[in-house]
Structure 1
Amino acid sequence: MKPLTESQIKALIVLLGDEDIKTAAIARKTLLDARREAKPYLEEARESPDPHVRTRVYGILERLRLDELGKRFEEFAALPSAWLDLEEGAFLIAESAYPTINRDHYRAMLDDMANTFRARMESQNPGRGREVVEALNDYFFRELGFNGNQAEYYDPDNTYINQVLDRRLGIPISLATVYLLIARRLRLPVVGIGMPGHFLLQYNDNLFIDAFNKGQIMTRSECVQFLMNNGFGFHPAYLSPTPTRFMLVRTLTNLIQLYSQTDPDRADSLAGFRDLLTQSYTAKV
């Protein structure tokens, strides 16, 4: 494609505000294709007096930003599955909505939470097994105040790790992610369980933890009953540990579903991130 001139780019930006949707869509696509030359002029157009132009310019710039983030996500997804870091993956996903996220701040928050509980364990010596889980649940859900957001379950902020840490609200997989990141700092044997219909945690192969319901402890038979009652049937794989790669895939799938109607461009970008994770996995199998 021949590079666009300054006057051509500025004319296309004006056309973004055209009342004819097809004309505006063609202008948008052309500007996206010419991203390198167009970006400085798009940045200037953020201050356009035309509200339609401003809105559509913002959408284009956001798409360009997500495409750049996608390049970093591609490098992350290409790592061997055993090397994938859940925390880094969660931050990359959060950056898709919060580009200025301060990773150091939230890592320090997680460190402080884990260190506080570690000191408590050392002084109180709660024992092992169920006693440890009950102590961690009391700290995580009662003292720190993490809770399932039943009132606004479909709010995207329930999924982004920075918002879950700030608001202490989330959905099953995001709460499980934060719980798991604290447990890993404490070297506790906790893993994620990607059960259909409801993400859980598992401690030491025998205790299942429902992070969405204030750490309710479930037995294997109760998990099986949940699956049967909700029409999923049962397969042993449903209660097997979920690798980091597929925890991130499930997190992205939730967001894609949430944005599919309200922000299809964002949903499309997130679907690209998800594809990178799955394609990197199948390429190595």
Structure 2
Amino acid sequence: MNTRPKALEILRAVGRLPDDRIDLAETALALAALDRPEAGFEPYHQHLAELAAEVADMSGRPLTLAQRVEVLRHVLADRHGYHGDTETYEDMQNANLMRVIDRRRGLPVALGILYIHAARAQGWEIVGLNFPGHFLMRLDHDGERVILDPFNQGEPKEPRALRELLKQTAGLDAELTPEHYATVSNREVLLRLQNNLKLRHLRNDRADKAAEVVENMLLFAPDHPGLWREAGLLNAHSGNLSAAIRAFETFMDLGSRLGASSQLLHQTATLVQQLRTRLN
């Protein structure tokens, strides 16, 4: 069995969807299958359905916000054992949703996708937040809201704890601002998941593998000009000059329509000229 063709089909379809119709868990599984094409989707679909069903079983009556939090934590953390991988945090498996489900541990954003899936299956309002260095979620209900940390068993985070977490990830001088509480789109959650893989490949001096990750990101975010420029830079660094030129040209086309600076467009055009010279 090779699930790669199916995974590519799913990701290209997601690239044509409006953001609010993106199924985070389904898309994350398709991304995972690109690295594990021998693994079938069905066991993971069954597990996602099981998580949603178990939360539903405990939600047969109207629940307060605090009770919804406890149900999510009980199902995902207590019953299924999901937790952050503090021992091998840099392991690439932690950003692959299939392996996260297999191992019951992973990065904050991968675990967050599971919490979001289980909550949204009930119609609950839950979103990811633009918190730097550590993915967090916000659950809203009946005029109340709470911020949850999927890496720490869905633990609610008060402002003081958030401030301490920010200083750990962004430096001792960092302070909370409204930007840190801003919500992120479904595509941004998925981009954040894949950025973890890209950065790990770059730290291992594998620009070619990082370029592959960016090209996979472009399947579900084809209108993201910054990604096209990044794909150009990574492919150029890896010596894949034709791919670099195509990516830069796509960036210039998108960027000119979406308001990229004239300076950046000019710099990119110069890069394309230089790459064409190297090809000839």
TM-score, scaled relative to structure 1 = 0.67
Does the alignment pair 1:142 with 2:66?
no
Does the alignment pair 1:213 with 2:149?
no
Are the counterparts in 2 of residues 206 and 219 from structure 1 also a CA contact under 8 Å?
A: no
User: How much identity, in percent, do the aligned residues show?
Assistant: 24
Does the alignment pair 1:252 with 2:194?
yes
Are the counterparts in 2 of residues 126 and 135 from structure 1 also a CA contact under 8 Å?
A: no
Letter in 2 for 1:239: Y
The DSSP-based 3-state class of the residue aligned with 2:156 is strand
Q: Which moved more, 1:81-90 or 1:197-206?
A: 81-90
Q: 1:94 to 1:142 in 2, by over 3 A?
A: same
Letter in 1 for 2:28: A
Partner of 1:280: 223
Shift of 1:130: 0.9
CA displacement 1:127-163 (0-9 Å, x = unmatched): 3111220232122111110011100001111111111
Q: Which moved more, 1:109-118 or 1:249-258?
A: 109-118
Shift of 1:241: 1.7
Paired residues for 1:86-97 under 5 Å = 86-97=24-35
Q: Which moved more, 1:265-274 or 1:167-176?
A: 265-274
Backbone CA RMSD of aligned residues: 2.8
Q: 1:133 to 1:126 in 2, by over 3 A?
A: farther
Partner of 1:237: 179
Partner of 2:231: none
**Aligned mates of 2:131, 2:153 — CA distance in 1:** 17
Q: Which moved more, 1:98-107 or 1:248-257?
A: 98-107
Count of residue correspondences: 219
CA displacement 1:205-229 (0-9 Å, x = unmatched): 6211111112211134542453356
Partner of 1:179: 115
Shift of 1:175: 0.5
Q: Which runs of 5+ in 1 are unaligned?
A: 1-64
Q: Which moved more, 1:197-206 or 1:100-109?
A: 100-109
Partner of 2:87: 151
Partner of 2:241: none
CA displacement 1:33-61 (0-9 Å, x = unmatched): xxxxxxxxxxxxxxxxxxxxxxxxxxxxx
Are the counterparts in 1 of residues 13 and 220 from structure 2 also a CA contact under 8 Å?
A: no
Q: 1:258 to 1:228 in 2, by over 3 A?
A: closer
**Aligned mates of 2:206, 2:12 — CA distance in 1:** 22
Letter in 1 for 2:183: P
Does the alignment pair 1:266 with 2:216?
no
**Aligned mates of 1:135, 1:79 — CA distance in 2:** 31
**Aligned mates of 2:167, 2:206 — CA distance in 1:** 35
Paired residues for 1:158-169 under 5 Å = 158-169=94-105
Are the counterparts in 2 of residues 94 and 161 from structure 1 also a CA contact under 8 Å?
A: yes
Shift of 1:106: 1.1
CA displacement 1:82-132 (0-9 Å, x = unmatched): 33321232022101211133222211111112212211232xx47311122
The DSSP-based 3-state class of the residue aligned with 2:87 is coil
Q: 1:280 to 1:84 in 2, by over 3 A?
A: farther
Q: 1:103 to 1:69 in 2, by over 3 A?
A: closer
Does the alignment pair 1:81 with 2:19?
yes
Partner of 1:199: 135
Shift of 1:66: 7.9
Paired residues for 1:2-81 under 5 Å = 73-81=11-19
**Aligned mates of 1:103, 1:194 — CA distance in 2:** 30
Q: 1:262 to 1:163 in 2, by over 3 A?
A: farther
Q: Which runs of 5+ in 2 are unaligned?
A: 226-253, 259-280
**Aligned mates of 1:247, 1:169 — CA distance in 2:** 18
Letter in 1 for 2:119: A
Q: Which moved more, 1:218-227 or 1:152-161?
A: 218-227
The DSSP-based 3-state class of the residue aligned with 1:121 is coil
Letter in 2 for 1:192: G
**Aligned mates of 1:71, 1:181 — CA distance in 2:** 21
Letter in 1 for 2:181: L
Shift of 1:195: 0.6
